[in-house]
Amino acid sequence: MKISNEKVAIVTGGTGALGRIIVNKLSREGMKVYVPARTLEEFNDVFDSSLKSEGDEFKLKKIFAFNCDATDESSVREFVSKVADYEHGNIHFLINTVGGIGAPSSVEELTSQELEKMIRLNFNSTFYFTRDVLKYMKKNNYGRIISIGAIAGIEPSPNRFSYSFAKAGVINLMDTVSEEMKNLNIRCNTIIPGIMDTPANREWGSADDIKKWVKPEDIAEIVYNFLSTEFSSVRSSHIKVYGAY
């Protein structure tokens, strides 16, 4: 299952535990990948070499970054515009992985500030990038957008309302855009992972827990597959990747 090497992807949260795995997967498959980074130092720490070795052959990593705050509307617009300028208006894929979860809180104790923080981080970032890439995808009559949801976005999650509300918005956004753009060959889907095997989660998970968790590499493989022509008719899907937990 191959995708044209000429394809251009944006991966938000590309320096994160999941995002970096997706970026490397797409790059290995020959795509050109752009990563919004708060600092270029952070980007360089994660993607430390411009060359990768495959046996005796060296290939240039096509991974690039611009400074961007994914929660800031104007910063996102500037980032997307830069990518479009560099790629002559071609943005084929958008993978939204930016997100995070705060401390648990019941609804009666939830502050407006915490609610706004979760919406800004989990929903607004996805909304800004999705909205701004759409104008380029519409011109090209082609686009694929995949966002990372959460179980909390489809099931009641006590003490996690702010996170649940924001992730439910992400899922609804993907379904709505997919419906609005279905005649323009633009497809949106949501991956809903269970607990992922990341360094942060390993700090509290037991050895038995970790065995049941979802590997970021599995998510990256699913992302790549859904960008291929074999899945060109799939839209508004909620792909549950729960592992065995």
Cβ–Cβ contacts within 10 Å for residue 244, how many?
Answer: 8
The tens digit of pLDDT for each residue in 51-61 reads: 455 554 545 67
pLDDT at 50 over 70: no
Helix (H) or strand (E) holding 137: helix 125-140
Q: What angle do CA 118, 121, 125 make, to 5 degrees?
A: 140
Q: What is the mean pLDDT of the chain?
A: 93
Of 50 and 32, more confident: 32
pLDDT tens digit sequence for 221-235: 999 999 999 999 999
Phi, psi of 41 (to 5 degrees): -65, -45
pLDDT score recorded for residue 79: 98
Its pTM surpasses 0.75 = yes
Do 30 and 9 meet the contact criterion of CB atoms below 8 Å apart?
A: no
Round to whole Å and give the CA distance between 57 and 24.
17
Please report, for the chain, the start and end positions of each structural domain, with discontinuous segments joined by +: 8-241
Give which of 105, 80, 76 is closest to 90, Cα–Cα: 80
C-alpha to C-alpha distance for 36 and 108, rounded to whole angstroms: 36
pLDDT, mean of residues 173-192: 98
Antiparallel, parallel or unpaired: β 93-96 and 32-37: unpaired
Alpha-carbon gap, residue 168 to 7, rounded angstroms: 29
Instruction: Identify the CATH number of the domain defined by range 8-241.
Output: 3.40.50.720
